[in-house]
Structures are given as C-alpha cells and as structure tokens.
Amino acid sequence: MLAAPSATAAGAWTEIGSDRADPLAESQGPTSVEVPAGSSNRYPGIGTVPASVSSRGWNHVQQPRLEPRRRPRRLLRRPLHQDVPGAVAGRRPRSEFVHTFGPGEGLNNSWVAISPGGPWTLAGGYGTVHLDHAVRDVRGCDVTGPTTLLCSSDDPAGRLFGITRPLLRIDLSAAPDGTSDVSGRVTALRQLPLRGGCSGTYEAEGIDYDRRTGTLRVIVLSPGFCILTDSKTYRFTES
C-alpha cells in the first residue's frame, strides 16, 4: 500500500510537446544558455564528456562517477565537479573545480542548480537546505524563482508521493547564503511522461527551466531498445 503524500498538486505544469533525445548526446542535464543572446540550448550526455575527463572515471555531466540511488533529506550547497557552460560549446577555456569529500559525505551529487546571476548554487547531497519530506533519486533541479526549485525524480517505487517518477517543487524559506540553514517544502506536482514503444523501466534524467520562454524541459529515457528511438525531452508550461 502506498503511503499518503505530504503534499501534492496535479496539473501545475502542462505538457506542450516533446523532442527526441539522443541517448549519448542528450541524456543527462539540459541547460538553457542565455549569454550571448540567441544561444542554443545544450543537451549533454555520456558521449559529450571530454576524453581527458572520462579517462579519470567521470562519465556524467553534473553527476559523479558513481550515481546514487537514494536521496537524503538534505541538498548540497556546492558542486562536486562542474565545467563552465561555454566550455561545452568550445567558446572559452574549460575551468575545472573538484570538490574533496569531507567525513561522512556521500556519493550523491547528481545535479547542480545555479540561481540567476550566480549568487547561490545548490547540488544533491548534504548541506544547508533541510527538506520537510524525503525525496528519492533526484536527477536534476533548476531554479525557477528567487526561492523555488523544480526537480525531476527517478523514484521507481512511488511510495513517497503516491506516483512514480514525479516532478517536484521545492519552496525554500529563504535564498541560501552559505551562513545559515534554510528549510524546503516539497510538493509533488505530477508524474513525468512515461510513454514509448517498449515495456520496461523508464528513466527520468535532467531538467531545465528556460526563463526566456517560461518553458520547462525534462529528459526521460525509454527502456530497452527504445532508448535509441523513443527517448524524449518533454516540454511543459505552467498552467
């Protein structure tokens, strides 16, 4: 029997379309690029990781080498490994920042979210944000407002919110400043689309909110052979 969710809200984001997602080049963390104006969006995947980085064991963009399968109740405040956006496009030198694990720190840095203008950064794992509800398998989060995040969860069980692979909203009590903890209220908005020609387990991946158009994009990979043909980047608008 599924446990009753602490907070749910259906229909807050309406699906408006989808595009095929290449499982090698568009399967992890989508990013809308605002500068320079007119830049195309980025869709990194395992096939876009530079050889100099993958040779050292890194095989996920905005994810660690060993991907976690469970999420704690806290969110990390700084990225484990992050490349500047321009480096992906080859327009500027790549900068590399490697975070050294502290005592008891887990391998669960599966996403990175940077607020507009860059005053604060959040990533998965531990730190200054305390959630009011457990979450699981969060694959991506993006900032949609001064104190608001939208996150994609790959939770396959559905016991936390009554639905599998939910789209989550996290409302922070204040913008993180690195000096004090803040609380986060978790709401399950809807289930992510799980459609394709193959039966099996779908996999929710990265998420991006494009402030220029108000469009939310979430990658969902299809099971089996259909990962090559049916994987999609779904587009949503707030209703």
- If one counts every other C-beta atom within 10 angstroms of the C-beta of residue 39, the result is 14
Identify the pLDDT of residue 121.
76
Given its phi and psi angles, is residue 162 left (phi above 0), alpha (psi -120 to 50 degrees) or beta? left
Identify the pLDDT of residue 41.
72
Cβ atoms of 79 and 121 within 8 Å: the answer is yes
- Angstrom distance (rounded) from CA 188 to CA 153: 10
- Angstrom distance (rounded) from CA 187 to CA 185: 7
Assigned token pair, 63: 């994810």
Identify the pLDDT of residue 54.
74
Cβ atoms of 168 and 154 within 8 Å: the answer is no
Identify the pLDDT of residue 212.
85
pTM summary value: 0.75
Q: What is the mean pLDDT of each run of 10 residues along the chain (239 residues)?
A: 43 87 76 70 70 73 37 38 39 61 66 76 72 90 89 93 95 85 93 93 91 91 92 92
- Angstrom distance (rounded) from CA 73 to CA 57: 27
Q: Which residues sit opposite 30 in a β-bridge?
A: none
Identify the pLDDT of residue 59.
66
In the three-class reduction of DSSP (H, G, I as helix; E, B as strand; rest coil), residue 234 is classed as strand
Q: Which helix (H) or strand (E) holds 51?
A: helix 51-54
Identify the pLDDT of residue 1.
32
Angle at 57 between CA 23 and CA 72, to 5 degrees: 80
> Which residue has tokens 């509800």?
133
Phi, psi of 195 (to 5 degrees): -130, 145
Amino acid identity, position 84: V
